[in-house]
Structures are given as C-alpha cells and as structure tokens.
C-alpha cells in the first residue's frame, strides 16, 4: 500500500505524462506536493521505483515512466450501452505535421523552415494547429526533453507563466524554454541546473507555440 504522498506523486506524474508526454521536473513535483526540498521528492521517487510503480528511463536524466497504478487509482470500467447504430470506421492513428527544422534547448539557434513532415500519433495532439521541431541541446533535460527529441508544438501567440514555449527572439532566433514574466522583462528559464535563465525586453520575444508533447525515437 502506498502512503498518501506516494500516491499523490504517482498521480501527478501520471497526469502530466498523459497530458503532455513529458514527466514533471523535480521542482514541479516539490511544489505540487508542497514539500520543503527536492530530497523529499527523491525519497518518494525511490520508494515508487522500489515497488515497481515507476521506472527511470535509462540514460535519461530525471525522465520517468509510470509502469502501473494501484487499484485505488484506476478508473472504474465504463459500462457500454447497447446500440443498434453501426460502429464508426476506425480513425487513422497518426497524422502528418510540418517539421520546421531544429530548435535550441540551449543557446538560441535559428529555427530553419523545411518542407519535411513528421508522422505523429494522433493521441499526442489535442485541438488546434500543430508543427514539430527537432530539439538541439540539453538545457531542458530536467523537464524530460533531450537532444534529438521532436517537440510537438501547438501554434499560438500567448502563454501563461510556467508554460514551455517556442520563443522567437528578435525575429531571428528560436529557443524552447519555460516562459515567465518579471517586472518589465521576459525571462526564459532552462530546465538544467547548469544553465542560466535568459532575460529579454518584451518587444524582443514573440511566442510561436506551446509544447504539446514529445516524440522520441529509440535506436
């Protein structure tokens, strides 16, 4: 049986993975559970891993996978209603989205336009217009985003503080970062303790989309 905190953390990780495909950072887990330090998160993660509820992805810093949920957290099975209507045709399980080149998860690099496309499982995409960018760099590894991943981006021009966004800087360079606003500046935060935040004037930064999911290929 899991403790209340272990169950809360497992549910938080599972919800985040289902919503975005990206496991939450240790800082986000600490705040979600109102813990005083990240060491408490480490203890909970270790306990869940020992009981085979989660596992750490090999060679992936702080990337987690939920293996199972306790019975108390599983949704009740839905009771199918009888119907004389014909079953719908199965939907295509993948969609093609434009692949617009590489984006920096480190120092900004130019976002290259491309005529390529990427086949994406439709379950990873919600409503709206989407495109994909190949990630270059390691500044978002603590958010589970790694060099060579494909970032699935929902096209939009606004974002809330704490969203992971594609930020276009000075109309020439693009980067993938957490966005936050402080005083009269826009702060773009990495998810890597070895990197420092970037500060810009509001007129220098344009949001070009919010992270919708991550697609990873294993070789």
Residue showing tokens 């060579």: 148
Distance CA 43, CA 59 (A): 20
Q: Which residue has the tokens 């130019």?
A: 110
Q: Residue 210 and residue 133: Cα distance in Å, rounded? A: 12
DSSP state of 33: T
The catalytic residues are 139, 177
* Residues 5, 191: Cα–Cα separation, whole Å: 24
CA 46 remoteness from chain centre: 22
Cα distance between residue 135 and residue 151, in whole Å: 7
Exposure pattern of 21-31 as b/e (b: 16+ CB <10 Å)? bbbbbbebbbe
Query: Which residue in 129, 123, 74, 127 sits closest to 94, CA to CA?
Result: 123
Q: At what angle do helices 38-50 and 4-20 cross, to 10 degrees?
A: 90
Non-local (6+) Cβ contacts of 194 within 8 A are none
95 alpha-carbon distance from chain centroid: 19
């Amino acid at each position: 049986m899991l403790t209340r905190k272990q169950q809360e953390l497992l549910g938080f990780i599972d919800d985040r993975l289902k919503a975005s495909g990206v496991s939450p950072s240790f800082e986000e887990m600490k705040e979600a559970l109102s813990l005083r330090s990240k060491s408490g998160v480490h203890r909970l993660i270790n306990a869940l891993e020992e009981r085979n509820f989660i596992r750490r992805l090999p060679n992936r810093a702080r990337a987690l996978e939920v293996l199972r949920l306790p019975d108390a957290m599983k949704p009740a099975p839905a009771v199918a209603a009888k119907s004389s209507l014909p079953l719908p045709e199965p939907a295509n399980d993948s969609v093609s989205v434009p692949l617009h080149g590489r984006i920096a998860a480190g120092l900004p690099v130019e976002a290259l336009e491309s005529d390529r496309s990427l086949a994406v499982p439709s379950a990873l995409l919600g409503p709206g217009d989407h495109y994909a960018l190949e990630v270059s760099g390691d500044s978002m590894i603590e958010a589970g985003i790694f060099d060579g991943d494909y970032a699935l981006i929902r096209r939009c021009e606004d974002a809330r503080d704490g969203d992971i966004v594609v930020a276009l800087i000075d109309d020439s360079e693009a980067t993938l970062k957490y966005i936050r606003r402080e005083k009269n500046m826009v702060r773009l935060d990495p998810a890597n303790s070895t990197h420092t935040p970037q500060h810009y004037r509001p007129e220098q930064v344009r949001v070009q989309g919010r992270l919708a999911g991550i697609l990873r290929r294993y070789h």
